[in-house]
Structure 1
Amino acid sequence: MIQPQAPTMTDATYPVLTQQITRSLAPFRHSQKATMQGFSAMAQASMAEGALSEKHKELIASAIAVSQRCAGCIGFHIKALRRLGTTRAEFEEMLGVAVYMGGGPALMYAAEALQAWDQFEPAAAT
């Protein structure tokens, strides 16, 4: 019997992936309300405008997502970058730093991030 092949990350459609993650976490957000409220508060506080702009913070988060090889994180942070009006040049420069810091594995996930970038149209990212 031939076993079906497991989907690869390149099969991911990032808008769908982020929607699925959000749906999958809904019961967890309910059962672990205090924990998830704390996580949400931390996320909002850390990404708020300050000495660094929200866009710069999302670029940092995206670089970490690539270097840590987190497909879901890539999806959510690139969606935010598109919403914030990040240019392709800014995005690709960030990927260069992520690859420098993460080596070959980060390069493979940089390809994933480029795929996510193309899948999140600027208007669709709101």
Structure 2
Amino acid sequence: MNTPVKFYPDITKDISAHTRTLRKEIPDVMAGFSAMAGAATRDGALDKKAKEFVALGIGISTRCDGCIGFHTEALIKLGATRAEFQEVLGMAIYMGGGPSLMYAAHAMAAWEQYGGAAE
């Protein structure tokens, strides 16, 4: 039996809708999270793209579909190449073993669903 392919644009759209609810209902927590995200992703010794690659690797290793979707989309917008993306998938597989291999395959599907270049 084949497992249906997850569609990452829908996953992130659904999460975003629920996040808007959280912003209204727990604004202090969400403002704190947004401030932390802004500080963590700001260009520094590493640029935004490098930081997004780190986040993608962590998302794969923790099996977080939302993380895969949001960080894949961000990487495409930041101009990541398919070769760069696949090298990060390789590192995530190496560090996380079989479970990371399964989620690296999900990340590749997300890349394609967001229209990432085929090279």
**TM-score, with normalisation over the residues of structure 2?**
0.92
Query: Match for 2:93 among 85, 93, 99?
Result: 99
Query: Match for 1:59 among 8, 28, 53?
Result: 53
Q: CA deviation at 1:28?
A: 1.4
Query: Match for 1:75 among 60, 69, 75?
Result: 69
Structure 1 Cα separation of the partners of residues 24 and 105 of structure 2: 34
Stretches of structure 1 that go unaligned for 5 or more consecutive residues are: 1-7
Out of 16-25 and 47-56, give the one that drifted further.
Answer: 16-25
Q: How many residues align?
A: 115
Paired residues of 1:10 and 1:112 also in contact (CA < 8 A): no
**TM-score, with normalisation over the residues of structure 1?**
0.87
Letter in 2 for 1:113: A
Q: CA deviation at 1:25?
A: 2.0
User: Bigger radius of gyration, 1 or 2?
Assistant: 1
Q: CA deviation at 1:11?
A: 3.1
> What percentage of aligned pairs have identical amino acids?
50
Stretches of structure 2 that go unaligned for 5 or more consecutive residues are: none
Letter in 1 for 2:88: M
SS in 1 for 2:43: coil
Letter in 1 for 2:60: V
